[in-house]
Structure 1
């Protein structure tokens, strides 16, 4: 039997559902501990539960959801220790992407990067977290593209998705958008100069949450999101 196809995207239904759930996880719309509602997904996609369950099994194999014998599937919670490890690794990988991008950034991409940085500044000046999130994502996506290393970017996306439930509200913090613009500016300047070492260091400073900053970050998280 041929797998069911989604004619709009040319993928199996299970794959389409899996990608949709990953987008929900990446946006922070699905939070740690939240159950995966098979019935709601079935109604949302107007399909039986078979492709839903197939998608959930794929997500579980990738570590994006956990499946319990009685509780069903849910978004996994991270312990403080696990969250620190994940964010440390994310910082290192993002910094490596910036290093590669500094070596490989093309002239047209330099113009796009400057435009993206300007959008970040506009959103921060307007104190608009939603607009800043869009501009921030665009800024980082340009760096991923310029890095030209798909294996590295896949790992970054994986870690960003797994941590999104903990970082989704970061731009709501007073002054965070403005500080992010300053950090983006330092990164962009290093990229424009083609300085791999400075781009790497600037990105690591931008992404990493360490020491007192990490303690403050964790203290602002609802206890319900953290694994005991």
Structure 2
């Protein structure tokens, strides 16, 4: 079920019941109930009495807070990776960047999304920090529905590619602080960019303060 959040299948405000979820995943209701309880604990789902299971909506303030913390943790991983990355991981990072470059030049947002995920996964692995990886995954799951179409925004592929290039160069140079700052700049959404990002979201996705 967690993959459905990452894929953008589960949307903010969407309501389910155990039966529909069991049918969707072709399992009995017992594992569905266990998965729901786990996801409720993580804040990814909310149980509504007599209504079913709800995907919570984030307020603008909550969304900004999540993205700020995500940027800091991603930055920390880039910093550690610049210090700890081995030669095979450097090659994997370069290959992921080249895949991003090819997808961006082709205007293929789906391929870019896949290559982007690999680019970041290589950095997480090279950071040698499992706690940061776990927290990043939790934050990405929480806000995935709000970012599912971010690569479809005009100019976003080219901008993301340039930001990846800066992260790559800083890591290859062993510039720990530079890598951290470059990654924070890549993940952060602030000021006018944040306003444009929020304006691109369906109004029904936004919760109350």
- TM-score higher than 0.5 here? yes
Alignment partners' CA distance in 2, 1:109 and 1:69 = 48
1, 20, 27: which one pairs with 1:47? 27
TM-score using structure 2 length: 0.96
8, 15, 25: which one pairs with 1:35? 15
TM-score using structure 1 length: 0.89
Q: Where do residues 201-220 of structure 1 align in structure 2 (5 Å cutoff)?
A: 201-220=181-200
Greater displacement, 204-213 / 43-52: 43-52
Specify the SS of the correspondent of 1:109.
helix
Greater displacement, 33-42 / 159-168: 33-42
User: CA contact under 8 A between 2:18 and 2:52: conserved in structure 1?
Assistant: no
Greater displacement, 63-72 / 135-144: 63-72
Alignment partners' CA distance in 1, 2:92 and 2:190 = 31
Shift of 1:71: 2.0
151, 170, 173: which one pairs with 1:193? 173
85, 107, 111: which one pairs with 2:87? 107
Per-residue CA distance 1:116-170 (angstroms, 9 max, x = gap):
1000000000000000000000000000000010011100000001000000000
63, 66, 69: which one pairs with 2:46? 66
Given the alignment of the two structures, is residue 183 of structure 1 paired with residue 183 of structure 2, yes or no? no
Alignment partners' CA distance in 1, 2:118 and 2:7 = 14
Runs of 4+, deviation exceeding 6 Å = none
Could you tell me which runs of 5 or more consecutive residues in structure 1 were left unpaired when the two chains were aligned.
1-20
Report the equivalent of 2:207.
Answer: 227
Could you tell me which runs of 5 or more consecutive residues in structure 2 were left unpaired when the two chains were aligned.
none
Report the equivalent of 1:164.
Answer: 144
User: CA contact under 8 A between 2:76 and 2:180: conserved in structure 1?
Assistant: yes
Given the alignment of the two structures, is residue 79 of structure 1 paired with residue 49 of structure 2, yes or no? no
Alignment partners' CA distance in 1, 2:17 and 2:147 = 23
Alignment partners' CA distance in 1, 2:154 and 2:192 = 17
Per-residue CA distance 1:81-117 (angstroms, 9 max, x = gap):
1001011111111001100110100011111111110
Report the equivalent of 1:94.
Answer: 74
Q: Where do residues 111-150 of structure 1 align in structure 2 (5 Å cutoff)?
A: 111-150=91-130
User: CA contact under 8 A between 2:167 and 2:179: conserved in structure 1?
Assistant: yes
Report the equivalent of 2:4.
Answer: 24
Alignment partners' CA distance in 1, 2:16 and 2:135 = 24
Per-residue CA distance 1:151-198 (angstroms, 9 max, x = gap):
111000000010000000000011100111100000001111111010
Alignment partners' CA distance in 2, 1:53 and 1:130 = 32
